[in-house]
Amino acid sequence: MNKYIYSFLSLISNMASTNEIRKGVVIRQSGDLFVVVEFQHINPGKGAAFVRTRMKNLSNGKVVENTYKTSESVEIVDVNFQTMQFLYKTGDNFAFMNMQNYEQIEMNGDLVGGEGKYLKEGVECVIGLYEEQPVSIQLPKKIKYKVVEAPPAVKGDSASGNVTKEIKLDNGLIAYAPIFIKEGEEILINTETGEYSARA
């Protein structure tokens, strides 16, 4: 019976189930708007299902943590998700362009967060817009970079236990890669962990 009430309600309002929570989704709670920055399913005891979310208050930037039973109702606000390409950074702002209609937007460094360091020209991100304003950003899981600086592997490296070395990428990012990676090579970095993933 409950599931029919939820579907009906979501037709006439924005009430949805916590099952629909994803990163970047915007929730209205106690009158404020929050963007979900992290969520995780937990199964306490012998398996009852709950969703733990970390959400950022869009008006004051404070992060709160809430744990909901799955299928609890939350008010999910309509966010327009668009794929946009990163263009450049000016000061503290990151500029993106929608390649279909050439519309441009700027996102503040605070909103982009730590992941900003992975951005380089041309990277396609999914940006959430609420009432035309950007509220969230999702980077691709892996991004391809060119290695611009990599010290050559020294004979005896593996023997002495050095199997990774510091390298510099084409957007200025510093990372660690296996010692056999050379300057000029293209590699993939995992944006969730910041670690070398594979040769491109």
Partner 1 sequence: MRFKELRDSTQLKKIYDLRLEIIRQMRMWFYDCDFVEVDTPSAVISPDIEPHLNPVPVEFYNEHGEKNNFYLHTSPEYAMKKLLGAGYEKIFQICHCFRNVEESGNTHNPEFTMIEWYRAPGNYFEIMDDLENLFKAIGKKINVSKLQHHDIAVELNTTWERIKIKDLWQKYLGVNLDDYLTTKKMGELAAAHDLQVAPSDDFTDLFYKIFLNEIEPKLGQTVPTIIYEYPAQMAALARLCSDDNRYAERFELYAAGLEVANCFGELTDTKEQLTRFENERAQREKMDKVVLPIDKELVSALEYVPSAAGIALGVDRMVMLLTGARNINEVIFNTVADQLEK
Q: Which of 92/186 has CB closer to partner 1?
A: 186
Q: Which is nearer to partner 1, 3 or 101 (CB)?
A: 3
Contact assessment for residue 59 and residue 110, using Cβ atoms and an 8 Å cutoff = no
Q: Please, what is the minimum distance in Å from the beta carbon of residue 49 to partner 1?
A: 7
> Which residues does 144 contact at the CB level (< 8 Å), separation at least 6?
186, 187, 188, 200
Beta carbon nearer to partner 1, 48 or 99: 48
**CB closer to partner 1 out of 186 and 195:** 195
Q: Which is nearer to partner 1, 129 or 143 (CB)?
A: 143
Nearest-approach distance from CB 196 to partner 1, in angstroms: 7
Query: Could you give the strand order of the β-sheet that contains 186-190, starting from the edge strand earlier in sequence?
Result: 174-178, 164-169, 142-149, 186-190, 195-199
Distance from C-alpha of 129 to C-alpha of 81, rounded to nearest angstrom: 6
Cα 137-142-144 angle, rounded to 5 deg? 110
Question: Which residues bind to partner 1, rule: CB under 8 A?
Answer: 2, 30, 40-50, 52, 65-69, 72-73, 161, 163-164, 178, 193, 195-198
**Cβ of residue 105: shortest distance to partner 1, in angstroms?**
30
3-state secondary structure 33-96: EEEEEEEEEECHHHHCCEEEEEEEECCCCCEEEEEEECCCEEEEECCEEEEEEEEEEECCEEEE
Rounded Cα distance, 167 and 136, in Å: 30
Tell me if residue 148 falls in helix, strand or coil: strand
- Closest approach of partner 1 to the CB of residue 160, in Å: 12
From the CB of 103, what's the least distance to partner 1, in Å?
A: 31
Nearer to partner 1, 45 or 184 (CB): 45
Minimum CB separation from partner 1 for residue 104, in Å?
Answer: 32
